Amino acid sequence: MKHVLALLALLAPGLAAAQAPGQGSDQGPPAEAAWVSKRTAQLQALDKVTARITVLDAQVGRPVDFGSLNITVRACNARPPDEVPDAAAYIEVRDSLLPPTAPLAFRGWMLANAPAAHMLEHPVYDLRILECR
C-alpha cells in the first residue's frame, strides 16, 4: 500500500491538471518522477459474461464505450524508453445502466505493472491499462 501511495504522490500534479483543466499548474509531473505525458491509453476490457476481451484505444479526454460502461481517460503517463516500461492512467468510468446521479463506477489511477492495486470492481466488466502512447 505504501508503494501505491508513493506512486500517487508522484502522479498527483498530473491528477490536479486532469481534474481542473485550465486551473492547475502548467507543470507536468516532477522531473524525479520520470513520467512522460501521453495522449492515448490502450485499455483491455473484459466482459465476464461472454468472456469477450476487447482492446480499446482511448484518447485523453474523449469517452469510449464498452458494453454499458462509458470510459474517460483524464491523464495517461508512461515511463521514458530508457527506464522499465510502465503506464499509469487516471480513468473515470460511468455505468450507463445506473441513474445519471449515481456515483461513478470507478475514478482513479490504474497502473499497468500493478493492475490489482486499484481496479474497477464491477459485476460484469473488468478493465485494465496496458500502455500509454
Q: With beta carbons less than 8 A apart as the criterion, state whether 34 and 49 touch.
A: no
Whole-model pTM? 0.73
What are 10-41's pLDDT values in tens digits? 455 544 444 443 333 344 444 446 899 999 99
Closest CA to 61 of 71, 72, 50, 51: 72
Cα 76 from Cα 89, distance rounded (Å): 4
Regarding predicted confidence, which is higher, 28 or 128?
A: 128
Cα 78 from chain centroid (whole Å): 11
Q: Which residue has the cell 503506464?
A: 87
